Structure 1
Amino acid sequence: MTYVVTEPCIRCRYTDCVEVCPVDCFHGGPNFLVIDPVECIDCAVCVPECPVDAIYPDDEVPSGQEHYLEINARLAQQWPVINRREAPPPDADRWADVQDKQAELQE
């Protein structure tokens, strides 16, 4: 099992999860984070740290968001590792409760 970042992270990109991760499995893009399924050690310490509840075990991804398994695996190969907390985008709080943000994902 691995963990997966899902749609609620888009345009929020809070990095609380990155700060607690004991391995370098998070990768950061312009407005989204992903978890490298190869590097993730399934420890789950990131899950409660996510303020928008965007991180799930791969076998518990919400219905309709299963494609984030592929998105995480693919973008983890393209984006740089992020292992320190960073400031979220200035409008992150405004996007925290927005639904259906897939079109906002910047690859």
Structure 2
Amino acid sequence: MTHVVTDACILCKYTDCVDVCPVDCFHEGPNTLVINPNECIDCAVCVPECPAEAIFAEEDVPENQQEFIALNAELSGKWPTITRSKDPMPDADKWKDVKDKLRHLIK
């Protein structure tokens, strides 16, 4: 199994999760992160690190977020690996609790 970054990361891009990942499976896009399912070892250390609560085990991804399983797989193949944390997006705290942000995803 793998872990999946979901809607809550969009427009926030907190990178606390990146520092604890032992296999560097996070990939960075313009306004979100994704996890490469072929690199993730399902260790779950990233889950409690995410301030936006955007990371789920694949089997626990909420029903209304299922499309993020395929999006993580697709976009991790296009975006560069991120191995160190950096500052979140400028308005991250404003966007952290906003729901249904998929329309804001920049691929």
- When the two structures are superposed, what TM-score results if normalisation uses the length of structure 1? 0.98
- The equivalent residue for 2:48 is 48
SS at the partner of 2:74? helix
Return the alpha-carbon distance in structure 2 between the equivalents of residues 97 and 25 of structure 1.
Answer: 25
Residue 49 of structure 1 aligns to which amino acid in structure 2? E
- Residue in structure 2 matched with residue 10 of structure 1 by the alignment: 10
2:84 pairs with 1:90? no
Q: Would you say how many aligned residue pairs link Structure 1 and Structure 2? A: 107
1-structure distance, mates of 2:12, 2:89: 7
* Percentage identity across paired residues of the two chains: 60
**What aligned pairs does 1:12-27 form with structure 2 within 5 A after superposition?**
12-27=12-27
> What runs of 5+ residues in structure 2 fail to find an aligned partner?
none
Which structure's residues are more often helix, by fraction? 2
- CA root-mean-square deviation: 0.5
* Distance in 2 (alpha carbons) for counterparts of 1:104 and 1:43: 29
User: Where in structure 1 are there 5+ consecutive unaligned residues?
Assistant: none
Q: TM-score, normalised by structure 2?
A: 0.98
Secondary structure at the aligned position of 1:64 is classed as helix
Q: Which runs of 4+ in 1 moved over 6 A?
A: none
